[in-house]
Structure 1
Amino acid sequence: MTTAQGFSLYKDLDKYKDVDIDDLLENLTEAEVLELESMLDPDNALLPASDRMRNQTDKEPTGPFDRQKLQEFLENQAKSEKDVEDRVPYKSGQKRGKVWKAKANADMKKNGNANADEIEVQGDAEMEEALKDATEEDLVELAGILGLHSMLNQDQYYAANVHTQAVELNENLRELVAGPGSLQDEGAKFSGISKCFVPKALNLEPENNLDVDKALKQVQENDPELTSLNMNNIKNIPIPTLISLSEALHKNTHLKTLSMASTRLNDRIAKALGEAIEANTALTCLNLESNFITGTGILAIMKALLNNETLSELRIANQRSSLGVKVESYIAEVLEKNKTIVKFGLAFDHAGPRGKANNFLMRNNEIVRKKRVSNRVENQ
């Protein structure tokens, strides 16, 4: 069926809108009613099976249900059927099938007291012959070639070298006292004890030595030299200082980039920043990732974007908890109305808001691209 035929079929169904269904059912014959019954299947679990399905049995009932007669019938039928014959006849005391046998080397000692000399290593005949007469110096050199020294970490390797040097120094002193040639050369040794060590705790976050009070003063005085402020990873900023910084952003006209990732921001600071975003006309990039902002604070920030036309990049990912589908849907609605956000850092948990947000961000990027192309043409 083509598309045109499908549309014409739907148009033909419009003439049946005003038909009375009760009149149609009254005029049906008994055969037509049975045919209609077989076509209907009400998918309702509350209805009993007798009401959901029509009776398809034409045989007359033979009598009431008798449980005892049914059991006797099943028992007699089971006795009359022959058992399946075994492929291998059963005989008392005889095992059938594959019998498990232990391997020849399975009886090795399982405890740790077995000597290394008792274990026979099977390998290439030439290799066994070469290793049979090898000295300890040759074995150490072979271990270096094979890279076995890389199995030790730096501390274990250092401890082994220190032990080896102490042994050699002791032997040299004994040789000086007893005379040259009194001690036999035992070759290279590597007999240090491999000790465990506690790994050092490394700080994964880079240190930030920013003078917060000085930066706050610069923002309040609208210092033209301060165009970028990085406050990342500073955990001990007082809340009044952050509130003052948010209030100073209302009238600041030079700060372009503000990064406050991993600074323990909460909803109170987020609401203050939302008011600042709504009044600020210079800020283009704001980073609030890895903080303790909940959905309430995110809503305050997104609501401010409805009245902001300068912010182009906003990052709010990795917060205290998941935002939920309502907050993510509101974020997508704000991005639909905002025409300046081109970079938005947030991992959506729901596919619907995620798809809408991606479409709106692509639209904003296309708007910026067209403006850039038009400005380039005008300059030429």
Structure 2
Amino acid sequence: MAITDDATSATTKTTTLTTPAKLYGKDLSEYDDVDVESLLAQLSPEEITILAKEVDPDDNFLPPDQRNSYECTKEATGPLNRKQLIEHINKQAIETPDQPEFEPFVQGKVRGKKWVPPPRDARDIEAEEQIAIDMGEEYEHALNDATQEEIIDLAAILGFHSMMNQDQYHASLLNKGQPVGLGWDGITKSTQQKLFPMDPPNNTDVEESIKRVKDDDSKLIDLNLNNIKNISDEKLEQLFAALPQNEHLEVLSLTNVGLTDKTALLLAAAIEKSKTLRVLNVETNFISPPVIVKLVQALLKCHTIEEFRASNQRSAVLGNKIEMEITDLVEKNSSLLRLGLHLEFNDARHRVAAHLQRNIDRIRVKRLNQRK
């Protein structure tokens, strides 16, 4: 009897079944229609508390004290006092004993893996050797024979902290083993100042100088009336009235002579007609900022003045408006090379300096062309 085995020709198929998620023996889909509010209403407060400890509601709108399971049973002690809180934390930290070490400390015993610095590159070592400072045999011999106190004192004077090791540095800070008057707290004697004699008084005869200006003396090129405080306004008016007719005076210095706005306006009118004046100095007087603007404006008509100084006047600060007016006038002046005025604002200083440099460069180029 022949038996045919069909199992050898059968095809085996593998089927993957997905088991639905279940909770307490039921599918999760069966809980969709359950009224959660009615179930919570049936629970007692103790059961709700137990449920809240096991479930953390993922709701950002709930405060943290209602989301976590920790409940503080202590009564409130009042508002937050940061100082008392920090003192309490420090007290708890001091009173809490340290955790005992499992292995006692032994001096000289290395615990764990000792750090070994990596080998340095030979090129770095050669570079350091090339820039090493050769102090010479005399200085090296002196430093080798110097005592610790002498090295500390020398480092304190020169500020070379690298000359000392750590023990010497801390000893210098505490002045250990140092004589009185040495070390960081020592008193350093200052260099004796040089005594310079006082400037001699200006003995220039004002009346004679005014007469020479009126007579157009060819030898009177530089007139210095600085620090002569007894010049009256009438004499200054006579001097300024004679300036337009003079054709030889080049330098006029009127520092600290008591110039006021009244006499300064006369000076402004005089320098407009001057033909040879190159340097005008009216520093340290009582000229107001608007009159200084008048003087700078007068320089536009006098094409010979190359240097004008008027700092240290009655008003220490000119102000933004006055400085901008002076800057605009200076930028229109093609002959002015130096200006002695304290300008507070950076814009005015930069513009004035740039324009004066352009005037200097233009005159230099003109001179070079004339030589060729």
Q: Return the TM-score normalized by structure 2.
A: 0.49
Q: If each structure's helix is expressed as a fraction of its own residues, which one has the higher value?
A: 1
